[in-house]
Amino acid sequence: MIATLQETKKKGGHGGAVIASLHRASKNFGEVQALRQVNFGVRAGELVALLGPNGAGKTTAVKLFLGLAKPTAGTVSVFGGDPIDAEVRTRIGAMLQVAKVPETLRVREHIDLFSSYYPKPLLLAETLALAGLQEIKNREFGELSGGQRQRVLFALALCGDPDILFLDEPTVGLDVESRRQLWEEIRKLISRGKTVLLTTHYLEEADALADRVVVINRGEIIAEGTPAEIKDSTAGRRIRCVSSLDIETVRSLPGVIDVRRDRNGLEIHAAEAEPILRELLMRDPTLTGLDVSSAGLEEAFLALTQDHNNIGEMTR
Amino acid sequence: MATASTTFAQGTWERPLGKTLAIYFKEAKYEFLTRLRLRAYSLSTVLFPLMFYVLFGLVLNQKDAAVGGTSITTYLIPTYGAFGVMGASLFGTASGLAAERGLGWLQVKRASPMPPFAYFTAKVAIGVIFSTIVVLLLLLLGVTFGGVHMPLLDAAKLVGILVAGSLPFCAMGLAIGYFVGPNSAVATINLIYLPLSFCSGLWVPIMFLPHLMQKIAHLLPPYHLAQLALGVVGAGQHESSLVHWEALIGFFLVCLGVARLGFQRDEGKMYG
Q: What is the pLDDT of residue B3?
A: 41
Q: Do B9 and A96 touch (CB under 8 A)?
A: no
Least confident stretch, A77-81, A107-111, A112-116, B263-267: B263-267
Taking only the tens place, the pLDDT of each residue in A252-283 is 888 887 788 877 788 888 878 888 899 899 99
Strands of A237-242's sheet in order across? A256-262, A265-270, A237-242, A288-294
CB count within 10 Å of CB A288 equals 9
Q: With bands split at pLDDT 50, 70 and 90, how would you rate the model's confidence at A12?
A: very low
Residue of higher predicted confidence among A153 and B271: A153
**Percent of all residues in chain A with a pLDDT value above 70, rounded to a whole number:** 86
- Residues of B within 8 A of A99 (CB-CB) are 103-104
Taking only the tens place, the pLDDT of each residue in A158-193 is 999 999 999 999 998 888 888 999 999 999 999 999
- In chain B, the residue whose alpha carbon lies closest to the alpha carbon of A29 is B272
| Residue A184 C-alpha, separation from nearest chain B C-alpha, in angstroms | 23
Query: CA–CA separation, A219 vs A212, rounded Å?
Result: 19
- In chain A, the residue whose alpha carbon lies closest to the alpha carbon of B32 is A105
Query: Using an 8 Å Cβ cutoff, are B63 and B148 in contact?
Result: no
User: CA angle A47-A53-A54, nearest 5°?
Assistant: 110
Which among B22, B104, B272 is the nearest to A96, CB-wise?
B104
Q: List phi, psi (to 5°) of B184.
A: -105, 5
Element (H, E) at A151: helix A146-158
Q: What is the pLDDT of residue A16?
A: 82
Helix (H, G, I), strand (E, B) or coil at B92: helix
User: Residue-wise over A19-33: b if at least 16 C-beta within 10 A, else e?
Assistant: bbbbeebbbbeeeeb
Which of B207, B43, B29 lies closest to A105, judged by CA? B29
Query: CA–CA separation, B163 vs B155, rounded Å?
Result: 12
Query: CA–CA separation, B124 vs B173, rounded Å?
Result: 9
Beta-bridge mates of residue A217: A220
**Percent of all residues in chain A with a pLDDT value above 90, rounded to a whole number:** 52
Taking only the tens place, the pLDDT of each residue in B72-95 is 999 999 999 999 999 999 999 999
- In chain B, the residue whose alpha carbon lies closest to the alpha carbon of A167 is B108
Query: Using an 8 Å Cβ cutoff, are B220 and B125 in contact?
Result: no
Q: With bands split at pLDDT 50, 70 and 90, how would you rate the model's confidence at A6?
A: very low
Q: With bands split at pLDDT 50, 70 and 90, how would you rate the model's confidence at B272?
A: very low
A236-294 sits in which CATH class? alpha beta
Interface test with A, best of B37, B105, B108, B270 (most A CBs within 10 A): B108
Query: CA–CA separation, A128 vs A145, rounded Å?
Result: 16
Query: CA–CA separation, A198 vs B123, rounded Å?
Result: 33
Query: CA–CA separation, B90 vs B196, rounded Å?
Result: 12
Task: Please tell me what DSSP assigns to residue A315.
Answer: T
Mean pLDDT of B165-193: 94
Which among B103, B113, B114 is the nearest to A100, CB-wise?
B103
Query: Using an 8 Å Cβ cutoff, are A132 and A163 in contact?
Result: no
Mean pLDDT of B227-238: 91
| Residue B180 C-alpha, separation from nearest chain A C-alpha, in angstroms | 16
Task: Please tell me what DSSP assigns to residue B176.
Answer: H
* Inter-axis angle of helices A227-234 and A297-314, nearest 10: 60
Give B242: exposed, middle or buried? Use CB within 10 Å, 0-12, 13-18, 19+.
exposed
Q: Does A109 touch chain B (CB under 8 A)?
A: yes
- The CA–CA distances, whole Å, from B207 to A141, A236, B216 equal 49, 87, 13
User: Residue-wise over A115-129: b if at least 16 C-beta within 10 A, else e?
Assistant: bbbbeebbebeebbe
Would you list the domain boundaries of chain A?
Answer: 2-232, 236-294
Q: What is the pLDDT of residue A163?
A: 95
Helix (H, G, I), strand (E, B) or coil at A43: strand
CB count within 10 Å of CB B265 equals 11
Residue of higher predicted confidence among A316 and A136: A136
Fold of the A2-232 domain: Rossmann fold (3.40.50)
DSSP letter for each residue of B202-255:
SSS-GGGS-HHHHHHHTT-HHHHHHHHHHHHTT-S----HHHHHHHHHHHHHHH
Q: pTM for this one? A: 0.83
Q: What is the pLDDT of residue B133?
A: 97
Which among B11, B99, B111 is the nearest to A87, CB-wise?
B11
Q: With bands split at pLDDT 50, 70 and 90, how would you rate the model's confidence at A244?
A: confident
DSSP letter for each residue of B58-74:
IISPPTT-EETTEEHHH
Q: List phi, psi (to 5°) of B29.
A: -60, -45
Radius of gyration of chain A (CA): 23
Query: CA–CA separation, A297 vs A54, rounded Å?
Result: 17
DSSP letter for each residue of A242-272:
E--S-HHHHHHSTTEEEEEEETTEEEEEES-
- The CA–CA distances, whole Å, from B45 to B29, B220, B230 equal 18, 21, 21
Q: Do B270 and A28 touch (CB under 8 A)?
A: no
Average pLDDT, chain B: 91
Q: What is the pLDDT of residue A234?
A: 59
Which of A47, A92, A88, A79 lies closest to A191, judged by CA? A47
Mean pLDDT of A97-119: 95
Whats the size of chain A, residue-wise? 316
- Residues of B within 8 A of A94 (CB-CB) are 108, 111-112
**Percent of all residues in chain B with a pLDDT value above 90, rounded to a whole number:** 74
Taking only the tens place, the pLDDT of each residue in A26-53 is 999 888 889 999 999 999 999 999 998 8
Which among B13, B30, B272 is the nearest to A86, CB-wise?
B13
**Interface subset of A 43-72, CB within 8 angstroms of B:** 66-70, 72
Would you list the domain boundaries of chain B?
Answer: 17-271
Taking only the tens place, the pLDDT of each residue in B206-226 is 988 999 999 999 999 999 999
Is a pLDDT exceeding 80 seen at residue A294? Answer: no
